């Protein structure tokens, strides 16, 4: 577990967020932070920092040119992407806009906080979920919220060349996986809790159903929580889940934490 923040005169450490990260696998599992109301308009710095936790070569695996090459290497002749433009974002688990100051927002630009996320999903339904969290605070439904954001599984894409589903790892030896699911657990000290789950597959043309979903999520209507998402693969098919069931089923180690 990595703690990200500031140390004051070697006396105290102000934590902004923490990340469960595996540097050997180049994989962020989840992050935890406290979200509070912020209407700051400061820009986020654009530089991304490895903190010497991963190599420059590992960081480069997030670049779209390399991801495009990886698609072709793993899948053979593929038609998912015709070029390396507008493929993936370096998706933040802990989002920068939940912090008020430029320096704090810059602290989210760390590879221990990043996942390979489809660009249209990051800027589609996932953005809607992040804005929902901020709205709960700005509209004073809650004073502060604990947010745990993480990933489940590895995305598999069908290869017509090999006639098989291929796990999508951006680095050899099963490193830097494209996650299959991205979740966000939002909880308040009162006991209120919400879980949102997004299918990280912009190539999907139909909404996941059956055991693909039921194995990870006992679905609830998102409209019950005032969340309006697009029912499109490019935006990221999104589900709202019964929180306690979701945690017990997928993240038992985080019971009482998230």
d(CA 164, CA 75): 9
Check whether 122 is labelled as a binding-site residue.
yes
pLDDT tens for residues 220-250? 999 999 999 999 999 999 999 999 999 999 9
Q: Has residue 206 got a pLDDT over 80?
A: yes
Q: How confident is the model at residue 38 (pLDDT cuts 50, 70, 90)?
A: low
Q: What is the mean pLDDT of the chain?
A: 94
Active site residues: 92
Domain boundaries, the chain: 20-254
pLDDT at 40: 61
d(CA 93, CA 113): 6
Q: What is the pTM of this model?
A: 0.95
For 20-254, the fitting CATH number among 1.10.3470, 1.10.3210, 2.40.10, 3.40.570 is: 3.40.570
Judged by average pLDDT, the poorest of 39-53, 109-123, 196-210 is: 39-53
pLDDT tens for residues 99-145? 766 777 888 999 999 999 999 999 999 999 999 999 999 999 999 99
Q: Has residue 79 got a pLDDT over 80?
A: yes
SS (H, E, C) the chain: CEEEEEEECCCEEEEEEEEEEECCCCEEEEEEEEEECCCCCCCCCCCCECCCCCCHHHHHCCCHHHHHHHHHHHHCCCCCCCCCCCCEEEEECCCHHHCCCHHHHHCCCEHHHEEEEEHHHHCCHHHHHHHHHHHHHHCCCCCEEEEEEEEEEECEEEECCCCEEEECEEECCCEEECEEEEEEEEECCCCCEEEEEEECCCCCCCCCCCHHHHCCCCEECHHHHCCCCCCCCCCCCEEEECHHHHHHHHCHHHCCCC
């Amino acid at each position: 577990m990595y703690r990200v923040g500031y140390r004051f005169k070697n006396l105290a450490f102000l934590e902004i967020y923490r990340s469960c990260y595996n540097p050997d696998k180049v994989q962020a599992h989840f992050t935890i932070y406290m979200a509070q109301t912020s209407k700051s308009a400061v820009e986020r710095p654009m530089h991304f920092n490895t903190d010497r936790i991963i190599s420059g070569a590992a960081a480069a695996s997030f670049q779209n040119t390399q991801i495009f090459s990886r698609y072709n290497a793993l899948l053979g002749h593929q038609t998912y992407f015709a070029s390396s433009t507008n493929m993936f974002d370096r998706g933040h688990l802990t989002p920068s806009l939940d912090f008020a100051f430029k320096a704090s927002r810059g602290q989210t630009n760390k590879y221990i906080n990043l996942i390979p996320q489809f660009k249209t999903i990051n800027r589609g339904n996932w953005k809607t979920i992040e804005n929902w969290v901020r709205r709960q605070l700005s509209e004073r439904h809650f004073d502060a919220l604990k947010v745990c954001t993480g990933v489940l599984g590895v995305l598999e894409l069908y290869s017509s060349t090999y006639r098989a589903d291929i796990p999508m790892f951006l680095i050899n030896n099963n490193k830097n996986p494209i996650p299959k699911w991205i979740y966000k657990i939002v909880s308040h000290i009162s006991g209120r809790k919400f879980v949102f789950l997004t299918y990280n597959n912009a190539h999907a043309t139909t909404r996941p159903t059956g055991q693909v979903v039921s194995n990870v999520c006992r679905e609830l209507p998102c409209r019950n929580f005032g969340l309006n998402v697009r029912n499109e693969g490019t935006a990221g098919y999104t589900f709202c889940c019964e929180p306690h069931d979701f945690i017990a089923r997928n993240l038992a180690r985080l019971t009482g934490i998230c």
